[in-house]
Structure 1
Amino acid sequence: MTLTELEDRVPALWEYTKNMPQDIRSRCTVRTHAPGSIIHQKDMELNYFGIVAAGENRVINEFENGNVYMIEGNQAIDFIGEVTILACMERTSVTIEAVTDNVVAYISRKDAERWLSEDINILRLASKHTAFKLYRSSYTNGAKLFYPPAYLLLDYIVRFGRQNGMDNHKSSKNLIINRTRQLLQEEIGVNVKTLNRTIYQLKQEGFFDVCKGKISFSREQYEAAVTWLNASKDK
């Protein structure tokens, strides 16, 4: 697939690529990363810049003892490598893993640095994305240290619901969080035993159902979780 074909498939991408120099455009390649594959690894030399046109990925930090900490989840349209390039660093600081199929348009780091220096539009968009991630991280930083597991899980469910249109009053379908317990553990920040115990407790209290091991919730259950979270914040 060419960049032009990808723009036809994802019209929103044009806002990002409309001023890309023609010679850089001619060198652009499009690649699809399958779910579970590594898009880039922590501490690797960054030689490219990518724009995620479709898909969801997660940003994680891996430690030598084997533990994995999830920093954030991102959905298209997003960037790959922008933080490293804007920070003028040589190596990546995090690992990015595809959650669904990720379709990414790639150019070389050299081409990206030139493009960012010449085109205020792409520089503004990349900077905006970076600032938004920092804002989101700063806003919730520390929650995993001070809130109980039930709060963290319900907060995760509510955020998942909002991202998938549950705030739309016309939405009536149930949502299923298609995550393994291992992924949920990393994303929420509690160990598997605590997570399983919390899932059992909240299921018994009626906040969601479990279907084939996956959390499923209705609009009514979503609203109950929102009410519970708001009440907890006031305590």
Structure 2
Amino acid sequence: MTLTELERKVPKLLEYTRYMPEDIRSRCTVRTHAAGSIIHQKNMELGYFGIVAQGENRVINEFENGNVYMIESNKAIDFIGEVTILAGMPRTSVTIEAVTENVVAYISRKDAERWLSEDINILRLTSRHTAFKLYRSSYNNGAKLFYPPGYLLLDYMVKYGRQYGIDSPAPPKQVTISRTRQLLQEEIGINVKTLNRTIRQLKEEGFFTLCKGKITFNREQYEMAQSWLETARDK
């Protein structure tokens, strides 16, 4: 697939690529990353810049003892390598893993640095994107240290439900969180033993059901979780 074909498939991509120089455009390649695959690894030399046109990925930090900490999850349109390039650093600081299939338009780092220096539109979009990630991280920083596991899981559930339209005018009958326990552990920031105990407790309290082991909830349960969180915040 060419960049032009990808733009036809994902028209909103044009907001980002409309001023890309023609010679850079001619060198652009489109690659598909399968769900569960690594898009780039922490501490690798970055030689490219990518624009994620389709898919969801997650940003994680891996440590030498084998522990994994999930920093954030992102949906298209997203960038690959923008933080490293804007910071002027040679190596990546995080690992990015595809949650669903990701379709990414790639150019070389050299081409990206030239494009960012010449095109105020792409510089503005990448800078705003990076600033939003920092804002989101700063806004939520510390929650995992000070809130109990039940709060963290219900907060995750509510945000997931909102993301998948549970509070829209025509909501789905139910939403299932399609995450393994391992992924939930990494994303919420609590160990598996505590997570499993919390899931059992909240299920018994009626906040959700389990469908093939996955957390499943309807609009009424979503609103029940919202109300519980609001009360917990006021305490």
Q: Normalised by the shorter chain, which TM-score bucket? A: over 0.9
Deviation at 1:169, TM superposition (A): 3.1
CA offsets per residue over residues 118-173 of structure 1, 9 Å max, x none? Answer: 00000000001000000000000000000000000000001101111122132142
- Secondary structure of the structure 1 residue equivalent to 2:176: strand
Matches within 5 A, 1:135-154: 135-154=135-154
- Secondary structure of the structure 2 residue equivalent to 1:20: coil
Tell me what 2:184 maps to: 184
- Secondary structure of the structure 2 residue equivalent to 1:106: strand
CA distance in 1, matches of 2:20, 2:91: 25
Structure 1 unaligned segments of length 5 or more: list them: none
Tell me what 2:89 maps to: 89
Equivalent position amino acid for 1:125 in 2: L
The two structures, once aligned, show a CA RMSD in angstroms of 0.6
Contact 2:165–2:172, Cα closer than 8 Å, also in 1: no
- Secondary structure of the structure 1 residue equivalent to 2:30: strand
- Secondary structure of the structure 1 residue equivalent to 2:223: helix
1:76 aligns with 2:62: no
Equivalent position amino acid for 2:195 in 1: L
Tell me what 1:128 maps to: 128
Tell me what 1:117 maps to: 117
1:173 aligns with 2:173: yes
Tell me what 2:42 maps to: 42
Runs of 4+ with deviation above 3 angstroms: none
CA distance in 2, matches of 1:170, 1:84: 40
CA distance in 2, matches of 1:168, 1:46: 40
CA offsets per residue over residues 40-86 of structure 1, 9 Å max, x none? Answer: 00000000000000000000000000000000000000000000000
Contact 2:166–2:174, Cα closer than 8 Å, also in 1: no
The number of residues matched between the two structures is 235
CA distance in 2, matches of 1:72, 1:204: 29
Matches within 5 A, 1:190-229: 190-229=190-229
Deviation at 1:5, TM superposition (A): 0.4
Equivalent position amino acid for 2:139 in 1: Y
Tell me what 2:65 maps to: 65
CA offsets per residue over residues 200-230 of structure 1, 9 Å max, x none? Answer: 0000001011000111110111011000000
CA offsets per residue over residues 171-215 of structure 1, 9 Å max, x none? Answer: 142111110000000000000000000000000001011000111
CA distance in 2, matches of 1:156, 1:81: 27
1:7 aligns with 2:7: yes
Equivalent position amino acid for 2:89 in 1: M
1:32 aligns with 2:6: no
- Secondary structure of the structure 2 residue equivalent to 1:171: coil
CA distance in 2, matches of 1:15, 1:110: 22
Overall identity of the aligned pairs, in %:
80
CA distance in 2, matches of 1:220, 1:143: 25
- Secondary structure of the structure 2 residue equivalent to 1:230: helix
Structure 2 unaligned segments of length 5 or more: list them: none
Equivalent position amino acid for 1:179 in 2: R
